[in-house]
């Protein structure tokens, strides 16, 4: 198993757990759990592979990704009630998922020889779109758009860090490790310490 394949598996597993937790908050049945978990788990990677015109979408050639996501959904269906705060667990699991999905997208783009703007975008797409689909379908405020928190910024920064490291070394593993560390550090800082970017404040209308 290559490093990118490992990152894809890890991202699918952890994002599936977050999807199932959101399904538990929406009080869906077990089929709903599996659907939301799979949508969250493979959504970003599917869009990435379609945009990059890969030979096949990653989970189509290896259906074990869907099996992994489905197993995660079933696990959460029977254990979610044991969590003291499902929303807090969701936030931190999502941070972990983002930290593995962004380098997975970056790694695929680098492996295909894409230029740096595409590497940046594929990192963001892979890391953010699955969670966005999850939240929209379940009628939750999307984490990627939540005011006062870093999210997409973390993905951009992580992908940028990978590109910087690639200028210093020819070893992609170091670049992907740097990407994961930057993404998680920024997202964790936002959750734990309230790190954020300034938000737009409009002037009051004139009467």
CB 192 within 8 A of CB 152: no
Chain CA centroid to CA 8, Å: 10
202 occurs within a structural domain: no
pLDDT at 108: 96
Instruction: State the alpha helices, DSSP H only, in the chain.
Output: 3-25, 30-51, 58-61, 64-79, 86-111, 116-137, 152-168, 172-193
Stated pTM of the model: 0.93
Residue with the two structure tokens 């959460």:
76
Residue among 59, 44, 56 at smallest CA distance from 106:
44
Three-class SS of 15-43 = HHHHHHHHHHHCCCCHHHHHHHHHHHHHH
CA distances (Å), origin 106, targets 132, 165, 170? 19, 12, 15
123 occurs within a structural domain: yes
- Residue 32: CB partners within 8 Å, gap ≥ 6? 23, 26
23 occurs within a structural domain: yes
Q: Which domain holds residue 115?
A: 3-193
82 occurs within a structural domain: yes
Long-range contacts from 60-65, C-beta under 8 angstroms, 24+ separation: 65/8, 65/9, 65/12, 65/41
pLDDT at 15: 97
Please state the φ and ψ torsions of residue 14, each to the nearest 5 degrees.
-75, -40
pLDDT at 201: 77
Over the chain (207 residues), what is each successive 10-residue block's mean pLDDT?
A: 90 97 95 98 97 94 96 96 89 96 97 96 97 95 87 97 94 95 97 90 66
204 occurs within a structural domain: no
Structural domain tally of the chain? 1
12 occurs within a structural domain: yes
198 occurs within a structural domain: no
Q: What 8-state DSSP symbol labels residue 205?
A: P
205 occurs within a structural domain: no
């Amino acid at each position: 198993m290559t490093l990118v394949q490992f990152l894809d598996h890890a991202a699918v597993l952890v994002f599936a757990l977050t999807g199932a937790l959101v399904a538990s908050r929406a009080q869906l049945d077990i089929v709903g759990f599996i659907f939301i978990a799979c949508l969250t788990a493979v959504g970003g990677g599917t869009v990435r592979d379609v945009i990059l015109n890969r030979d096949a979408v990653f989970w189509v050639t290896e259906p074990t990704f869907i099996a992994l996501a489905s197993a995660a959904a079933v696990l959460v269906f029977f254990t979610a009630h044991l969590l003291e705060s499902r929303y807090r667990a969701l936030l931190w699991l999502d941070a972990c998922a983002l930290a593995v999905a962004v380098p997975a997208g970056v790694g695929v783009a680098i492996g295909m020889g894409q230029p740096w703007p595409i590497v940046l975008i594929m990192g963001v797409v892979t890391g953010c779109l699955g969670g966005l689909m999850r939240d929209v379908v379940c009628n939750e405020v999307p984490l990627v758009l939540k005011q006062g928190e870093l999210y997409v910024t973390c993905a951009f920064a992580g992908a940028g860090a990978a590109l910087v490291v690639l200028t210093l070394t020819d070893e992609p593993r170091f670049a992907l490790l740097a990407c994961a560390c930057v993404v998680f550090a920024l997202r964790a800082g936002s959750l734990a310490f309230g790190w954020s970017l300034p938000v737009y404040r409009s002037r009051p209308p004139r009467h």
